[in-house]
Amino acid sequence: MAKVKQLTVPCKNRPGELARIAKVLGDAKVNILSCLTTTSGEEGATHLVVDNVNKAKKAMDGADLSYTEADVVQVELPNSRGALGKFAAKLADKGINITLGYQTSVKGSKKASVVRAYLGFPSTASSTVRNCERGKPPKSW
C-alpha cells in the first residue's frame, strides 16, 4: 500500500467546474491519475491524484483555485469478484475506517483495480498499514 497525495478542490455543483479544474492542470502539463467528483446540493468537491503535486499546487494557486492536500493510500488489488470486499474487511477487522474510497478497473485485466482511500484508524492498526506499505499485504488477498 503506497501513500500518495490527494488534492481536494471545493467547487460548485454546476456545469463546467470539472472542466475548469482539469484545464488548469492540463495547461500546466499535470496529468490527472485519478479523479472523483462528488456533490451535495449546490456544493461539490473534486478529489485528485496527479503525477506532479507541486506543479498542480502552483497551477491551482495561479488560477485562484483553493484546495486541501492529504495523504491517502493506494493499493492494487486483483481484478476479481470479492477483492475489494476482502481488502475492506481486513482493514475493518483492524479498526481502520475508510472515510473516502474510490476504485477503478479495466475489464479483462488481471490487476487493474486501484483503490485510493483516506483512512482514519487507531494506533493499534498501524502494523497492518505498515505491512501493506512495505508491499506485504495479508496473505489472504
Please give the domain boundaries of the chain with CATH numbers for all domains: 2-71 (3.30.2130.10), 72-133 (3.30.70.260)
Residue 131's pLDDT band (boundaries 50, 70, 90)? low
53-100 pLDDT, tens digit each = 999 999 999 999 999 998 888 888 888 888 889 888 988 898 888 888
Hey, is 1 helix, strand or coil?
Answer: coil
13-22 pLDDT, tens digit each = 999 999 999 9
DSSP tag of 102: E
Contact of 60 with 7, CB cutoff 8 Å: yes
In the predicted model, what is the mean pLDDT of residues 125-135? Answer: 50
The closest of 95, 92, 97 to 119, measured between CA atoms, is 97
DSSP code string of 18-55? HHHHHHHHHHTTPPEEEEEEEEETTEEEEEEEES-HHH
Alpha carbon 64 to chain centroid, angstroms:
23
> CA angle 44-27-112, nearest 5°?
65
Check: pTM over 0.85? Answer yes or no. Answer: no
1-14 pLDDT, tens digit each = 678 899 999 999 99
Phi-psi bin for 82: left (phi > 0), alpha (psi -120 to 50), beta? Answer: left
- Based on the number of CB atoms within 10 Å of its own CB, is 21 exposed (0-12), middle (13-18) or buried (19 or more)? buried
